[in-house]
Chain A
Amino acid sequence: MGTVFSFDISAPGVSAHALQGVVDWLHRMDAMFSTYRPDSEISRLDRGSLQLGECSPEVHEVLELCEQASRDSGGYFTARLPGGLDPSGMVKGWAVERASTMLQAAGSTAHAVNGGGDIQLLGKPQDGRPWTIGIADPFRRTALATTVAGTDMAVATSSTAERGQHIIDPTSGLPATALASITVTGRNLTTVDAYATAALAMGDKAKSWISGLSGVEAFAITATGERWQTPNFPTAGNPGN
């Protein structure tokens, strides 16, 4: 995945051992799914030196989730990129949500897990307020575009500013440029993250697509700096600064 995961565990009693187990699992998933590692299962599967039937259950699960997201989004989400098989758009959100679930199984009732800016929340911080998540402004790195608040919530942002314009509109084969960034919220990060990726690729069609989905909200900033959001987007307050 090549990204940094951070954990904010506000629930008491979660052992360092349990946390280490989660971290170890994330390292294993990185080794399994990395497109930068020629020995990863994904790389071997892509070049045909490994058959799907020989892959780990996690690979099967993620690829099925990719297919589901592709169907949900009318093909705007895809793991089959021109350069080859790349489920990275699914893996990060899936891994963060799974890490959160693992912590919950270890006894945590309240935590935030962040993988490269995609976040799964459970419960509340220690002081009882909701978790507060800043949304990066794609045009002004010194500012937050807005802030969201919630408890059992997932937040994912896709942006053309991250790593260049790396999200391709699969229907045109060209980089998606209509939206500078889009943030999607919902209950589970696996879905939310994939939807954020699909929505960025959709561009102008994203608002009506998200509006038709249950339990999912979005906030977007267009390439020209205009903003829109769906009616129940969980804004916490005014933009930062």
Chain B
Amino acid sequence: MKRAIVTIAATIAGIVLLLGFKTHPMPETTSTGPVAASSPTAGASQQPSSGATAAVPPATATPATGAPATGTSTLTGTTVETQYGPVQVQVTVTGTKITDVTAIQVPSGNGRDQQINSYAIPQLTQEVLTAQSAHVDMVSGGTYTSEGYLTSLQSALDKIGIK
């Protein structure tokens, strides 16, 4: 299970890279290199959720390219209803980087759910990792059943202005 968390965390690091509003001039954000993608620290340190949802401001238009904050906070995304059931994720953010993500609510109980949990999300992960390692700007194709996962993730990121 630990391994799965690492995979997801790495995925989210990649997704955030893709989601980041790369306004300029902000040199560090123009890079599409393999930022935290292969970071073995992902998932290694579960941060306490002391800085959770209530402590962060609502979504703003602030690009994710502002001066990096140094604090760590844990944000809980909204529960997203999907055709397969509710999905909710929790994101740990250090500065402007995602350092951990856990799915705290996923559909469970049938084969289809197992597919989502064990198959779709890691696949999405891998694709994003590949995108970074191949130094491409974006990837076409590959929207999987993890859309609810991503939507919940986005709602968590919205709370800190990372889009």
A contacts, CB < 8 Å to B? 2-4, 6-12, 14, 16-17, 19-20, 23, 36, 112, 114, 116-119, 125-127, 131-136, 138, 141-144, 147-148, 155-159, 161-164, 181, 183, 240-241
Contacts and interface: CB of A to CB of B under 8 A. Distances in A.
Contacts of B126: 141-142
Contacts of A119: 138, 140
A117 B83 contact: no
Nearest to A135: B140
A134 B126 CA distance: 13
Given A114-B138, A134-B136, A20 B131 contact: no
A183 B141 contact: yes
Interface in B138-163: 138-145, 147-148, 150-151, 153-154, 163
B141 A162 contact: yes
A227 to B, nearest CB: 14
A119 B151 CA distance: 18
A9 B23 contact: yes
B22 A144 contact: no
B150 A4 contact: yes
Contact of A136 (B24, B63, B141): B141
Closest 10 CB pairs of A and B: A157-B141, A20-B61, A136-B141, A136-B142, A134-B136, A240-B134, A141-B123, A116-B143, A16-B61, A157-B140
Number of chain B interface residues as a range: 35 or more
B139 A3 contact: no
A102 to B, nearest CB: 14
19 contacts: A3-B143, A6-B20, A6-B138, A6-B163, A8-B20, A10-B22, A10-B24, A14-B23, A23-B61, A36-B83, A117-B143, A127-B30, A134-B138, A134-B139, A138-B141, A142-B126, A144-B136, A147-B134, A240-B130
Contacts of A241: 130, 134
Contacts of A132: 135-137
Contacts of A164: 145
A207 B124 CA distance: 28
Interface of B: 15, 18-25, 30, 60-63, 81-83, 123-124, 126-127, 129-131, 133-145, 147-148, 150-151, 153-154, 163
Contacts of A36: 81, 83
Contacts of A4: 15, 19, 147, 150-151, 153-154
B149 to A, nearest CB: 10
Nearest to A130: B137
